[in-house]
A and B are shown apart, each in its own frame.
Chain A
Amino acid sequence: MSDLATALVFWPAAAFMLVTALYVFRTSSMARAGLLLLAALGIEGLIFLALASEFLGVLLLLMMSGEMVIMVFFMVMFMADPGGLMGMDMTHDKRRSAGAAVAVTAALAALALATDWPAAVMDDGGRGSRGSGRDVQQIGFEIMGRSMFTFLFAGVTILFAMVGGILLAKEGGRLGLPTPASEPRDHGAQEA
Chain B
Amino acid sequence: MSNWTPVAVLAVALGGALCVALLEQVVQGARIAPLALLRGAAATLDAPLTTPHRPDAWLYHLAPPLLLVAAVVTVATVPWAPGFRGIDLSTGVILFAAALAYVTPAVFMAGWGGGSPLAVLGAFRFLALMLAYAMPLAMVLTSVAAPAESLRPAAIVDVQATVPMIVSQPLAFALFVPSAMAVALLAPFDLAHARTEMGGGAFRHYTGVHAGLIALAQRMLVLGVAGMTAALFLSGWHGPVLPPAAWMVLKTAIVAALMLYAGRVLPRPPLDWLLAWAWKAAIPAAIGVIVWAALVTLLFY
Contact = CB atoms under 8 A, between A and B. Distances in A.
Interface of A: 29, 31-32, 35, 38, 42, 54-55, 58-59, 61-62, 65-66, 68-70, 72-73, 83-85, 123, 125-127, 132-133, 136, 187-188, 191
Interface of B: 1, 55-56, 59, 88-91, 94-95, 97-98, 101-102, 104-105, 108-109, 112, 124, 127-128, 130-131, 134, 138, 150-152, 272, 276
A31 B94 contact: no
* Chain B interface, >50% SS class: helix
A126 B56 CA distance: 40
A29 B55 contact: yes
A158 to B, nearest CB: 14
10 contacts: A31-B59, A35-B105, A59-B94, A62-B97, A65-B102, A66-B134, A73-B127, A126-B88, A136-B91, A191-B272
Contact of B56 (A31, A54, A68, A70): A31
Contacts of B112: 31
Contacts of B128: 73
Contacts of B95: 58, 61
* Chain A interface, >50% SS class: helix
Going nearest first, the 7 A-B pairs with the smallest beta carbon separation are A62-B98, A65-B101, A61-B98, A133-B90, A126-B90, A132-B90, A58-B94
A119 to B, nearest CB: 20
Contacts of A72: 108, 127
B276 to A, nearest CB: 7
B151 to A, nearest CB: 7
Contacts of B101: 61-62, 65-66
